[in-house]
Amino acid sequence: MPRDIPVGNGDLLVTFDKTYRVRDIYYPNVGRYNHTDGHIQRFGVWVDGMFAWIEELGWERTLAYIPNTLVTSVTLRNKHLGLEITCNDAVDFHHPVYLRRSIVRDLTGRDRDVRLLMHWDLSVRGTPVGDTANYDPTTSSVVVYKDDSYFLFSAGDENKTGLDNWAIGTKRVRGAEGTWRDAEDGILGRNAISQGSVDTTIGVNLQVPANGTAKATTWMVCGKSYKDVKAIHTRLVDLGHDRMIERTHAYWNLWVRRAPADADELPPAVADLFTRSQLVLRTQIDNGGAIIAANDSDITQFGGDHYSYCWPRDGALVAYGLILADQSELSRAFFRFCQRVIQPEGYFLHKYTPTGDMASSWHPWIIEGQRVMPIQQDETALVLWALRRHFERFRDVEFIKPLYTPLILRPAQWMLCYRDHNGLPQQSWDLWEERRGVHLFTVCATIGALKAAAAFCSDFGDHDHAMAFREGADRMIAAMRRHMWNPAERRFARNVVPTKDGYRLDMTADAANYAIFAFTGLSVDDEMVQGEMTNARERLAVKTGVGGYARYERDYYHQIERDNVEQVPGNPWVICSLWRAQYVIASARSVAELKEAMDLLEWCAWRCERSGVLAEQYHPYSGDAISVSPLTWSHATFIIVVLEYLNKLRELSPAAAQRASVSAV
């Protein structure tokens, strides 16, 4: 089930599913560890002898955020129970604390006895083996821990701090379902301790007046020791749980960049999604600099692995969105992370954990008895390309200086060495991580990287290297035109594989070929660029009521349509649809020609969840989210396209430029 309304602060990330159940808890890094292992964390309500979990039928749920913040605004309404609950979830912007404030309203016109029950089914560090849960009388809380991972659960209202009730027990062993079953009669056992595969349910009692409201807040404090969680808990109590939520509200309201000065040129839904995308993006970025692809543990059911890793390619393109949005501290942190993990020879491996260790991979180190490099070369190239975009915007020479050798000089030298006799890159894996060859996307990214390196070298007075990198880029462009262009079809191959006589061309239409104008510096007026992009539009458009653009023809990943591939070449992806918008923007010569790009931005606003969360891809007939959600790359690309659209609009419309200038003043 896709994730919705994530809240986090770069150390702690909490995700929810569409029924408002907590599903993932990542700490102390975004993406590591997942202390729920994807299991459901339940929220239930007992009132006057009746009980319901919030995922059950009978609840009307609205999941959203308070505008411009990472504080949720969730409404739960149950006519049978005669209650409405408004919840605000937040992870404190500074401390690793998750809070939920619940305001319960009576809808029946009589006084109500209400008990809020929260079930926590932790698997500390991803496994329940060796966990302990115990009631702590000094803080009136339940503490769950193992090794150096501690979680303190407590609650408070306007009059007191501490739990009214709790249950501690075992789950998924010897037939035990868990303490959530104990909660359904509204009475919790108050047992003191349990170890092994344990869980806990905590309870808060409220007296709700007729037609009135009562309020309570529950929280989870994370730390590396009991001393840590107790100290933070004490700080929370002293500060006040409401104040902690409100200061987090204020922080994110200050942090986010609103839609630009000329936001009046954007439809409200697009402007709102632009702001929301920055905030959702931030929840997926670790404070150590790793930009995580996605944190939706349900994907493990598909392939036995997840997206909670840092791919340098995804990270570089997300960093470009951060750069355009003036979030320079986050882009700097990413490049420092890259400096730490890059190989001494100057290339990146497949992907990395949030702490910088080599992550799981399916790229072999040997094929048919021959050693090969288990890499996607575009990942190395795009980090260098994005670093240049960062420097051009912020001109932070002191930041670039220590990166010059590890992230500029060595990678560019390695890319020059890792070429075939024609000047094209040698074989590596494609950006979709499915096939090995010489890919157009990789070639274009490498051209962009060599040009970026040449510009850096010129800036630093390193003219010999600058000349070598420029010549390498020029030769690669010529080889690309000669060996990857199909004159009969007037379009590029998506990849070529070396043969004895030259190259074998794969002419499958692929949205990633947008790289031909995005990274190379080639003009959108170039006949080859125009031919490629026209073909991609014809072959990759999803011709159903859902719309959008597929990754490539007959895309098998989560494939829905296997027969009518002319109408549905693949599921529509957000990034691929927005790549089409980038080309439209780059090639537009009038304001009217920008309409297709705006239509695609509005398509994203139409497809996202009510909260503003974008998935990786969507069902071509129902429009339902497929695969992980939110996908960091989707939100970053939306930010990029909005800003490119507004820049082009100012260029084409003197009136829009004048309005932007006046608004900025």
Q: How many CB atoms lie within 10 A of CB 98?
A: 25
**Cβ–Cβ < 8 Å for 142, 135:** yes
pTM recorded for the entire structure: 0.96
Distance, in Å, from the CA atom of 564 to the CA atom of 554, rounded to the nearest integer, reads 10
422 and 547 inside one domain: no
561 and 650 inside one domain: yes
In a domain, 296, yes or no: no
Asked which of 540, 570, 585 is the last residue of a domain, the reply is 540
Residue 663 in this model has a pLDDT that exceeds 60? no
In a domain, 644, yes or no: yes
Asked which of 510, 540, 570 is the last residue of a domain, the reply is 540
- Taking only the tens place, the pLDDT of each residue in 555-590 is 999 999 999 999 999 999 999 999 999 999 999 999
**Cβ–Cβ < 8 Å for 83, 104:** yes
Higher pLDDT, 135 or 3: 135
436 and 375 inside one domain: yes
Give the residue-averaged pLDDT of 602-607: 97
Number of domains in the chain: 3
Tokens for 236, please give them: 């929370």
For 627, phi then psi, to 5°, come to: 70, -155
Distance, in Å, from the CA atom of 111 to the CA atom of 99, rounded to the nearest integer, reads 27
535 and 616 inside one domain: no
CATH code, domain carrying 185: 2.70.98.10
In a domain, 402, yes or no: yes
Q: How many CB atoms lie within 10 A of CB 64?
A: 16
How many CA atoms lie less than 13 Å away from 215 in the CB half-sphere? 10
280 and 418 inside one domain: no
Using DSSP's 3-state secondary structure scheme, residue 14 falls into strand
387 and 470 inside one domain: yes
> What local confidence, expressed as pLDDT, does residue 600 receive?
98
- Taking only the tens place, the pLDDT of each residue in 610-650 is 999 999 999 999 999 999 999 999 999 999 999 999 999 99
> What local confidence, expressed as pLDDT, does residue 661 receive?
58
Using DSSP's 3-state secondary structure scheme, residue 517 falls into helix
260 band by pLDDT with thresholds 50, 70 and 90: low
How many degrees, rounded to 5, is the angle at CA 83 between CA 82 and CA 88?
A: 170
> What local confidence, expressed as pLDDT, does residue 494 receive?
98
251 and 362 inside one domain: no
- Taking only the tens place, the pLDDT of each residue in 317-362 is 999 999 999 999 999 999 999 999 999 999 999 999 999 999 999 9
The overall average pLDDT reported for the chain is: 95
Residues in the chain: 665
274 and 423 inside one domain: no
Higher pLDDT, 306 or 222: 222
CATH code, domain carrying 519: 1.50.10.10
In a domain, 126, yes or no: yes
In a domain, 30, yes or no: no
491 and 552 inside one domain: no
Q: Classify burial at 624, counting beta carbons within 10 Å of its beta carbon; exposed 0-12, middle 13-18, buried 19 or more.
A: exposed
> What local confidence, expressed as pLDDT, does residue 121 receive?
97
Burial string for 194-218 (b: 16+ CB within 10 Å, else e) reads beebbbbbbbbbbebeeeeebebbb
**Cβ–Cβ < 8 Å for 144, 210:** no
Tokens for 358, please give them: 């080599």
302 band by pLDDT with thresholds 50, 70 and 90: low
How many degrees, rounded to 5, is the angle at CA 449 between CA 444 and CA 452?
A: 130
362 and 496 inside one domain: yes
Cβ contacts of residue 120 below 8 Å, gap of 6+?
Answer: 41, 142, 144, 151, 153, 199, 200, 201, 202, 220
Which range is most confident: 258-262, 299-303, 401-405? 401-405
Whole-number percent of the chain with pLDDT over 90: 92
For 471, phi then psi, to 5°, come to: -65, -40
In a domain, 295, yes or no: no
Distance, in Å, from the CA atom of 87 to the CA atom of 85, rounded to the nearest integer, reads 6
In a domain, 301, yes or no: no
- Taking only the tens place, the pLDDT of each residue in 200-247 is 999 999 999 999 999 999 999 999 999 999 999 999 999 999 999 999
Which amino acid makes up residue 345? E
665 band by pLDDT with thresholds 50, 70 and 90: very low
198 and 168 inside one domain: yes
Using DSSP's 3-state secondary structure scheme, residue 72 falls into strand
Q: What domain range is 155 assigned to?
A: 41-255
158 band by pLDDT with thresholds 50, 70 and 90: confident
Tokens for 478, please give them: 């010529």
Using DSSP's 3-state secondary structure scheme, residue 271 falls into helix
553 and 532 inside one domain: no
In a domain, 364, yes or no: yes
Distance, in Å, from the CA atom of 222 to the CA atom of 219, rounded to the nearest integer, reads 10
